Structure 1
């Protein structure tokens, strides 16, 4: 079960708009939400789920709004929260910025969207591209499209319209991996993981079927292949087409997928794999083929997480000397611990400095450094950082002559970067097969990107 009703409130708890989907919860129950929220804030503990009697409030805050769903059943909380965040996404697509003024100025559009997004407490059409085909707006007024309601609303392929045409048919595939690393002051990696996603930009005519193959070790086992050397025969797996129904809603695959990195059979385990609703799960579970009819334009085909030990790609060593009543000197050395043929772009190394520091002076072996006083850090920017290289940055700050007794915390050094044509996990797109009844030729393009996520290195200084 999902939500009984959905409310949008301002920061004072006033209802701006609401939609009653099931009628099994008194709409006046929302009056208790804000009192419960204020009570919890006073106690210093705010819970995402609050209850009044047998009525439960599930809520999120966005900008100057509260989005609240009510239910009196044992509902699927994950589904309710996914729907609330989807509301934010759809409203943002329509109004660019979602805030109180957006709701007030576009009341009719918002109500129409609430009516289409959910039916009797269950999510329905939640793709903003499809919604925009028949719920359009000009200024602050709702304009009902003169054309008939798209068949995507009622057919099995609810995420793609019929009759799409392109002069040049192309598919762009981005494999993006973000590295999360926490290194302690002794130089040991305390935690690390990889969060990845495969994103598509589809510019294809008609209603094509796509089949995507990864270097999936489970596929080797199912087809009797034990070595990455046999990957050239992977097309044989896709000769037969399984005519299975498209699963509705988001497809979350609760299994682990082993991916061969190509390094002498070394494997990693992909966890929390989540597919777009267009992917045929039964086909994937049968022969590991990712088969789907893609949405038009940009979409995220799948996401995954790899919980593994990751060697920091950019290693940072720092020495900070603080001279009482005088100055502080900072020396930072950065080393690229990735392949020499790769280059990290737009590297930013943020080094914390004392809040009372002034009169900055810098010297760098490459790039440039600047002081950001409102953040109390130095940003060392390096446009291009080749693998295997080392660079130095020295900073000198003056300190006030009056010593304070305040003991400041020691924020970590944080690093931002992006490495194109490179993935840490070694996941690779082996093929993309495009099948369309007209038989046109289409070009698939693949790009790999590794970027920093939550990348922190603690210091002793």
Structure 2
């Protein structure tokens, strides 16, 4: 049981304070946390009579304070999990990739109400956005918050879903009249009556309808299918399934030692289906009894345990009374009732074999100085290891230059030169790295190799002294210089750098890679079939399946 909750900014100043139990002096409680916290503090801090549990997400701190009198009934792991779920609940409401200080301040009322619904007297109640959204209908204020950081997909499927959502009449946004809704829930209405009836929007504001809806919402949380409300209706019934895999790869290029080689996968779904549909999905990993996938996959609560523990079911089937279960084992499919809106059906983590080449492999990285011509070249080559018919839609490679500028005296008064087989090369002068941008890179198995070369000029002291002497003697003005003065910009941006930080950065120089490969999965996971059934409405549905492979935050080569 938590006594109070706080949301703090990056300076540990309170943005939202919430009492879950009668507690005095909230400013003193959070002040004690601020004074006792250090960068090396564990996620649970005890100060005098208080236990502080906190998590940091984006630039915000989510803190729960527990009084010592509640020690007997507190579950620290549950509180940690609740703080993490509260963060994702806010992200779901605001539809942002990052939560900011301004966003929380502008929507303080909404954040407070979400806390009220998700926790009661220090006891966690519910954090499912699809259900809480029907309770709380406060309008989001985006007047001061800057920019929309959400990643909007540009595919046709999402465009169609956006138009269909405008016509969607779900419990959280738009409802038919109470009489029609009653018939729909009780199963009296037919498909034509339900799908083709034009509903007047004025009925939604009727007090009787509101009372009826709210009473049904309260019952939903106690039902077996608590993640989905009844009475959901969409003009166009669609279901989107995205298999997104992030590849984590870290290799010491000099020693050829692979430190990490993992696949972090998610099956993300967007459900815009009417009624209470049942979905059946068959994955090739389950059909093939992939032990690694079955052992590391975590499914949504809507998926029953019988759908996951297929191997255990085969051992438990003994008598003739288990014919239905045997048929299920033979099908090896996942059956579930989906929540409304967006949800993650499955999360999994797979280890790749050491001998499996990375999706994008760096084959060479060289720094070659030529002191006779006062030049130094950086060359890099990469090759692809995925299906030939696929290609990257976005790809960026960041090449560090800090070690180069430290080992050699670079003359930036002369423009550096770049050349690449594909894409373009940019020079980020503020952060000391090159950016190699590639629009599309086709797949292959080592035969598709591309490279780039960057050439910098070394400082020539003799040439510099000669030009200075000529400038003193000559009566002509110095020649006009075109382009930016990079040497002045570089000195201005790096004049206040700390020597210790620079030395620390030079110890580990990484070549980072960012890429996106649509229509492909690194693990080979495939949806064999997806079937949607709704026994009451029996409508036509449109399932969509996509695949995508991305880089993880840690996809790099140590050089």
Q: TM-score range by the shorter chain?
A: 0.7 to 0.9
Partner residue, 2:265: 196
1:304 to 348, 355, 378: 348
Aligned to 2:547: 448
Superposition map of 1:116-131 within 5 A: 116-131=117-132
2:301 aligned partner? 277
Q: TM-score by structure 1 length?
A: 0.77
**1:377, 1:150 → 2: CA distance?**
59
| Structure 1 pair 98–458 and aligned structure 2 pair: CA distance change class (3 A) | closer
Q: For the Cα contact (< 8 Å) 2:238–2:273, is it kept in 1? A: yes
Distance 1:390 1:22 in 2: 63
Say yes or no: does 1:339 pair with 2:339.
Answer: no
Quick check: 1:271–1:306 contact (8 Å CA) kept in 2? no
Q: Which residue does 1:423 correspond to in 2? A: 521
The alpha-carbon distance between structure 1 residues 105 and 298, as it changes in their structure 2 partners (threshold 3 A), is: closer
Q: Tell me how far 1:364 sits from its aligned partner.
A: 0.8
Cα offset, 1:270, TM superposition: 4.9
Residue 47 of structure 1: how far off its partner (Å): 2.2
Name whichever of 115-124 and 203-212 sits farther off: 115-124
SS of 1:206's partner is: coil
**Which secondary structure does the structure 1 equivalent of 2:549 belong to?**
strand
- More helix by proportion, 1 or 2? 2
Cα distance 1:334–1:445, how it changes in 2: closer, same or farther (>3 A)?
same
* 1:26-175 map, 5 Å: 26-28=23-25, 31-41=28-38, 45-53=40-48, 55-62=50-57, 65-71=60-66, 72=68, 73=71, 75-95=74-94, 98-138=99-139, 147=210, 148-149=213-214, 151-155=216-220, 156=223, 157-175=225-243
2:7 corresponds to = 8
Q: Secondary structure at the match of 2:297?
A: strand
Mapping for residues 168-317 of structure 1, pairs under 5 Å: 168-184=236-252, 185-217=254-286, 258-259=289-290, 268-285=292-309, 286=313, 287=329, 289-309=333-353, 310-316=356-362, 317=364
Count of residue correspondences: 405
Q: Distance in 2 between matches of 1:305 and 1:149?
A: 40
Q: Which residue of 2 aligns with 1:244?
A: none
Q: Is the 8 A contact 1:176 1:450 kept in 2?
A: yes
Q: Which residue of 2 aligns with 1:374?
A: 430
> Which residue in the other structure is 1:412 paired with?
510
Q: Secondary structure at the match of 1:195?
A: strand
CA separation of 1:179/1:66 partners in 2, compared to 1, >3 Å: closer, same or farther? closer
Q: What is residue 190 of structure 2 aligned with on the other side?
A: none
User: Residue 271 and residue 193 in structure 1: after superposition, are their counterparts in 2 closer, same or farther (change >3 A)?
Assistant: farther
Equivalent residues of 1:150, 1:161 under 8 A apart: no
Deviations 1:255-289 (A, max 9, x none): xxx52xxxxxxx64455422222222244334454
Where does structure 2 lack aligned partners over 5 or more consecutive residues? 142-203, 314-328, 462-498
- Partner residue in 2 for 1:320: 367
Task: Report the Cα offset of residue 151 of structure 1.
Answer: 2.9
Judged with a 3 Å threshold, the aligned counterparts in structure 2 of structure 1 residues 62 and 417 are, in CA distance, closer, same or farther, namely closer
Contact 2:36/2:47, CA 8 A, preserved across alignment: no
Measured after TM superposition, the shift of residue 30 of structure 1 is 6.7
Aligned to 1:392: 451
The CA deviation at 1:165 is: 2.5
- Distance across 1 between alignment mates of 2:90 and 2:42: 25
Q: Displacement, 1:421?
A: 2.2
SS at match of 1:154: helix
Whether the 8 Å CA contact 1:174–1:448 is kept in 2: the answer is yes
The CA distance in 2 between the partners of 1:6 and 1:418, in whole Å, is 39
Partners of 2:423 and 2:59 in 1: CA distance: 40
CA gap of 1:400–1:33, structure 2 versus 1, over 3 A, is farther
Give the match's secondary structure for 1:87: helix
User: 1:405-436 deviations in whole A, cap 9, x for unaligned?
Assistant: 98633411111112222222222212222221
1:162-186 Cα offsets, whole Å, 9 max, x none, are 2222333222211111110111123
372 and 152 in structure 1: CA distance in 2 versus 1, 3 angstrom threshold: farther
Q: CA deviation at 1:378?
A: 1.0
Please report how far the alpha carbon of residue 399 of structure 1 lies from its aligned counterpart in structure 2 after TM superposition: 4.5
RMSD of aligned C-alpha atoms?
Answer: 3.2
- Gap change, CA 1:152 and 1:319, over 3 Å in 2: farther
Displacement of 1:31 after TM fit? 2.6
- 2:271 is paired with a residue whose SS is strand
- CA 1:106–1:336 in structure 2 vs 1: closer, same or farther (change >3 Å)? closer
Query: 8 Å contact 1:271–1:305 — kept in the other structure?
Result: no
Partner of 2:493: none
Q: 2:33 touches 2:52 (CA, 8 Å); kept in 1?
A: no
Distance change >3 Å, CA 323–CA 154, structure 1 → 2: farther
Instruction: Please list every run of 5 or more consecutive structure 1 residues that lacks an aligned counterpart in the other structure.
Output: 220-227, 229-257, 260-266
The answer on whether the counterparts of 2:281 and 2:335 sit within 8 Å (CA) in structure 1 is yes
Given candidates 337, 352, 362, the residue that maps to 2:400 is 352
